[in-house]
Chain A
Amino acid sequence: MLASILRILALTRKELLAVLKDRSSRFSLLIPPVVQALIFGYAATYDLSHVTYAALDQDHTAASRQLLAGLDGSGVFERVGDLQHASDVAAFIDARRALLVVQIDPDFERRLLAGGSADVQIIADGRNSNTAGTAMGYVTGIVNQFNADWGAVHGVASAAVQIVVRAWYNPNLETRWFMIPGMIGTLTLLQTMMLTAMSVAREREQGTFDQLLVTPFRPYEIMAGKALPCMLIGVVQATGVLLVAQLWFRIPFAGSYLTLYVGLLLFLLAAVGIGLLLSAVAATMQQAMLYSMLLNMPFSLLSGLATPISSMPRPVQYLTAINPLRYAIDITRRVYLEGAGIGLLEADLWPLGVTALLTLSAASWLFSHRMQ
């Protein structure tokens, strides 16, 4: 038993040396997750901080100017043009010069003063309909504010029901809080999986795998020796992303580190298991790499990172049940933002355990099968 552990440790050390002794591969394993977390942390947000709009003010009254001033003063909207005719709208929107055009009809103030209601038309560039929808939501908020102010000044009762909104776990509704914890798993999965798959494939391509097989190592020891260093690197990568989230983006960590790392270890075990399985199937390094990339893409796109799983059609939702990243993202988000404990995460933990168990036993069966 002790001898076996020592052999595994020796193999782990050899693997780590093989991976980390080369400067470029050391660099390519440790730096990208942190750099990616930094850049994507800024990029991956659905929040808008800069919306270009053009005003088509056909009223030119105090009321219409007050409404537009509300937009200009919000700090989000930048007026890039003042249009004279409705026929100018297409030119601005088509050429992407403005995301929105705010159109105010000629009788705007007159209708308001008469105690009736007036329409403001918002024309949005729907080429990215999500961005357009968010921007229109911002406009609605500013118009609501205008309504409240107008009602207060002119003694009109404002909208009958006021909705008081409160967001749990993310009071300012910042997408970044949601995205960056999700990246902890996403940015580590690919390299962990690929590293495992390639390290076996490389040995096989170079013929050193056969040499390894004639040593006193047992098959499961070889597998453990391949799996451990990759998991170790995965843990280091995940920690790097976690540090970026906490120290750079200052997203408050609500949960316990122990819970987070238990979840991450289980996830990495599943990732390494998949990598080993791939390497058992692949004949060359090129194939091993291809397979891991092929798998990584559905894993990362259908994980709920950028688009919610609940918006997917039913069959695809069922399919995501075999995606380890889906559970990892759920775990990291819930531990990070909600402070969820192990008890609440059961539904995420056992699928990861099952994946790890299945892939590892399939890989070891394939390895010992091929040896005979």
Chain B
Amino acid sequence: MTPHHQPSASDAWRSKMRRIRALVRKETHQVARDPSSIAIGVVLPLILILFFGYGLSLDVKNVPVALVIEEPTPEAMELVAGFQLSAYFHPRITRSMPPAQQLLLEHRVDGIVRIPADFSRRVAAGDAQLQLIVHGGDANRARIIEGYVQGVVGVWAARQAAEGRAGAAAPVNVVERLWFNEANDSSYFLVPGLVVLVMTLIGALLTAMVMAREWERGTLEALLVTPVRSEEILLGKTLPYFVLGLIGFVLCVLSARFLFHVPLRGSPWVLLTASTLYLFVALGIGLLISSWVKNQLVASQLTLLVTFMPAFMLSGFLFDLRSMPTVVRLITYVLPARYYVALLQSVFLAGDVWSVIVPNSLVLAGMGAALALASRAAMRKSLD
């Protein structure tokens, strides 16, 4: 690839820019004419963020529970009133266990609270018991329900104690404060996580499909025999998709902010910089995969395997990374999504925390550079 005569540096630079510009123009035409690219870049992010922003929630409200009242004493009825007034429960009252168990078996209720016949007597004696049976299938939900029941009973007990009727308040009370998300609204962390999912998917898909298609059709070989150099081809291919991905990103952030009312406490510029870095990484993954396997079918499957599900499961978007076994946690360090989730959750909810932003951005920048070099190498190799 060494030129025969040595042109001046500015000449070389100018013709390089011209070649890239021509490639970008060609690629932009291709994007504009291919509805599927627009679909991935603009329509897909919108649909995803709308669907999942509204659909995904871990908040538990209106839990159907069966209340078994074996003897309607004043104490028991006061407790029942507590459940009925709570926004978290939707109680159904029965007088004995068998119908309640049937309801649980049919999934009509998520739990059974049994107030035993000797409840009032034992409250007076100070050793009363309540039985709670939860459907343990969804353990997370079961634990949340358990916490709610404890809350209702705690309020009841405090009132009993305040009226000097029975029992005493617990020695130590836990006062909980949830920073960055005072309302305990799960969409606060799910929506930024969704932005990561969407960006990962559209970034990698856009380039993976396109390059693999060119390899399959042989049009890339045709490009490679022209004076255009491989890094110029990569750049020319990437830029239009980068712009497309950026449009998708802006749509996501706008809907997060104005549709789902997730606060943006950090600066929008930090958000944009971090996302630019991540978009390059995601596009790079797609480029690398496609110049490696050169087959649309395999490229698409591979892209999906290494992007969507890992970003969903292993990025810390939903499941806590610190609680994963060491081997699995080591895998998460390789995933760019992990760093982007940390960035987005901080920038959206906590603000510009530089001790989070700087290291995570550096990792993303490093990954982007490594991917760019690797895709160039993969393309060069195929020339031989």
Binding site for B on A (CB under 8 A): 24-25, 28, 32, 36, 39-40, 42-52, 67, 93-96, 99, 112, 117-134, 136-137, 139-140, 143-144, 146-147, 150-151, 156-171, 173-175, 177-178, 190-191, 194, 198, 202, 285-287, 289-290, 293-294, 297-298, 301-302, 306-308, 310-313, 315-316, 319-320, 333-334, 337-338, 344
The answer to whether B178 and A156 have CB atoms under 8 Å apart is no
- Name the contact of B176 in the complex, choosing from A45, A99, A124 (C-beta under 8 A): A124
A118 to B170 alpha-carbon distance, docked (Å): 9
**Which residues on the B side are within 8 Å of A168 (C-beta)?**
104, 133-136
The answer to whether B313 and A44 have CB atoms under 8 Å apart is yes
Give the Cβ gap from A58 to chain B, nearest Cβ, in Å.
15
Chain A's interface: helix, strand, loop or mixed, by majority? helix
- Name the contact of B209 in the complex, choosing from A49, A160, A286 (C-beta under 8 A): A286
A123 to B345 alpha-carbon distance, docked (Å): 18
- Name the contact of A137 in the complex, choosing from B134, B147, B296, B304 (C-beta under 8 A): B147
**Chain B residues bordering chain A, tally (CB within 8 A):** 110
**Which residues on the B side are within 8 Å of A144 (C-beta)?**
170
The answer to whether B126 and A290 have CB atoms under 8 Å apart is no
The answer to whether A48 and B309 have CB atoms under 8 Å apart is no
The 8 closest A-B pairs by CB, nearest first: A160-B167, A170-B136, A167-B136, A126-B181, A126-B178, A173-B139, A95-B355, A46-B140
**Which residues on the A side are within 8 Å of B323 (C-beta)?**
45, 47-51
**Which residues on the A side are within 8 Å of B134 (C-beta)?**
165-168
A139 to B174 alpha-carbon distance, docked (Å): 8
**Which residues on the B side are within 8 Å of A123 (C-beta)?**
177, 179
Interface residues of B in 70-117 (CB under 8 A from A): 104-106
**Which residues on the B side are within 8 Å of A316 (C-beta)?**
51, 54-55
Q: Mark B295-309, 1 if CB is under 8 A from A, else 0.
A: 011101110110011
Apart from A44-B318, A118-B171, A173-B139, 6 more pairs, CB < 8 Å: A126-B182, A128-B189, A164-B129, A165-B132, A167-B139, A178-B138
**Which residues on the B side are within 8 Å of A302 (C-beta)?**
51-52, 55-56
The answer to whether B325 and A298 have CB atoms under 8 Å apart is no
**Which residues on the A side are within 8 Å of B126 (C-beta)?**
157, 160
Residue B16 at the A interface, CB < 8 A?
no
A42 to B184 alpha-carbon distance, docked (Å): 26
- With most chain A CB atoms within 10 A of its CB, the pick from B61, B154, B297 is B297
- Name the contact of B297 in the complex, choosing from A93, A146, A202 (C-beta under 8 A): A202
- Name the contact of B188 in the complex, choosing from A51, A126, A140 (C-beta under 8 A): A126
The answer to whether B184 and A129 have CB atoms under 8 Å apart is yes
